[in-house]
């Protein structure tokens, strides 16, 4: 019996839904997943259920949580390993996760998530490339300092920071902007994570009628 509901948007496109879903799965919350096909702007069905009119939106054991960064903190109450145990390392993880939540707008506009297309070389402009370079540096310096024990940002555990950046990995795989070798290796590791694999597989099964012209013809 489910303890609540997780509202998501079209898996193929909804980068924020991917974050929320990964966090909920990593915390092993038992919720019913409700996928609403998004309209590519304002989706009436999302507005009807979600307090901020956006997905992801989580209802769990009486708690109502929107905004993916708040979902991360809520999930970490059930699975503390979502953040690193060491205080200073945890501070860094929270800082980069929050930076992702707040920023990289140029990248998000120029390279919208689409799990089913190859848009190699599309979406590159000075602002989006500056975001790409900044993220590459963030990943590389984080992995150099904290990631020695494994392939993820903080080593062998795929944590909340990885969940926040997973849709960026998806964008980089679709749009193939210039990346360092270290960033490429990180992208491969995230793509190979079983939950990311599951999300891609479920996205591939969505009805074609959910696809939106504006995201399918960027090239
Ligand atoms: N800041 C929000 C962003 C959520 C967001 O923008 N979600 C998009 C889908 S990726 C959305 O719901 N857009 C409205 C719609 O499609 O109707 C969060 O962190 O959860």
- pLDDT of the chain, 219 residues: tens digit per residue: 899 999 999 999 999 999 999 999 999 999 999 999 999 989 999 999 999 999 999 999 999 999 999 999 999 999 999 999 999 999 999 999 999 999 999 999 999 999 999 999 999 999 999 999 999 999 999 999 999 999 999 999 999 999 999 999 999 999 999 999 999 999 999 999 999 999 999 999 999 999 999 999 997
Indicate whether residue 15 lines ligand 1 (CB < 6 A): yes
Burial of 58 (C-beta count, 10 Å sphere; 0-12/13-18/19+): buried
Indicate whether residue 70 lines ligand 1 (CB < 6 A): no
Fold of domain 4-80: Glutaredoxin (3.40.30)
* β-pairing verdict for 32-36 and 63-66: unpaired
Indicate whether residue 23 lines ligand 1 (CB < 6 A): no
User: DSSP for the chain?
Assistant: --SEEEEEE-TTT-HHHHHHHHHHHHTT---EEEEE---SS--HHHHHH-TTS-S-EEEETTEEEESHHHHHHHHHHH-GGGS-SSHHHHHHHHHHHHHHHH--HHHHHHS---TT---TTTT--HHHHHHHHHHHHHHHHHHHHH-TTSSBTTBSS--HHHHHHHHHHHHHHHH-----HHHHHHHHHHHHSHHHHHHHHHHHTS-GGG--HHHH---
Q: What is the pTM (predicted TM-score) of this model?
A: 0.98
Please identify, by atom number, the ligand 1 atom nearest to the C-alpha of residue 9.
Answer: 9
Nearest CA, atom 18, ligand 1: 67
Please identify, by atom number, the ligand 1 atom nearest to the C-alpha of residue 69.
Answer: 19
Nearest CA, atom 10, ligand 1: 14
Q: How far is the centre of ligand 1, averaged over its atoms, from the C-alpha of 54 (Å)?
A: 4
Fold of domain 84-199: Glutathione S-transferase Yfyf (Class Pi); Chain A, domain 2 (1.20.1050)
Q: Residue ranges of the domains in the chain?
A: 4-80, 84-199
Q: How far is the centre of ligand 1, averaged over its atoms, from the C-alpha of 127 (Å)?
A: 22
Please identify, by atom number, the ligand 1 atom nearest to the C-alpha of residue 14.
Answer: 10
Indicate whether residue 42 lines ligand 1 (CB < 6 A): yes
Q: Which of 8, 10, 14, 16 to mutate to test the pocket of ligand 1 (most atoms within 8 A of CB)?
A: 16
């Amino acid at each position: 019996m489910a303890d609540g509901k997780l509202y998501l948007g079209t898996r193929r496109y909804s980068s924020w839904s991917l974050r929320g879903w990964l966090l909920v799965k990593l915390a092993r919350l038992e919720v019913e997943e409700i996928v609403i096909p998004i309209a590519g702007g304002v989706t009436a069905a999302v507005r009807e259920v979600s307090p901020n009119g956006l997905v992801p939106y989580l209802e769990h054991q009486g708690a109502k949580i929107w905004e993916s960064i708040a979902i991360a903190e809520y999930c970490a109450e059930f699975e503390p390993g979502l953040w690193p145990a060491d205080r200073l390392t945890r501070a860094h993880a929270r800082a980069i996760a929050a930076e992702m939540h707040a920023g990289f707008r140029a990248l998000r506009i120029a390279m919208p998530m689409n799990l089913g297309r190859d848009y190699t070389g599309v979406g590159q402009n000075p602002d989006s490339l500056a975001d790409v370079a900044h993220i590459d540096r963030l990943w590389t310096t984080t992995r150099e300092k904290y990631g020695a024990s494994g392939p993820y940002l903080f080593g062998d555990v795929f944590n909340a920071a990885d969940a926040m950046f997973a849709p960026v990995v998806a964008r980089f795989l679709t749009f193939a902007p210039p990346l360092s070798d270290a960033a490429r290796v990180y992208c491969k590791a995230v793509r190979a994570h079983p939950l990311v694999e599951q999300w891609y597989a479920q996205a591939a099964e969505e009805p074609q009628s959910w696809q939106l012209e504006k995201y399918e013809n960027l090239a």
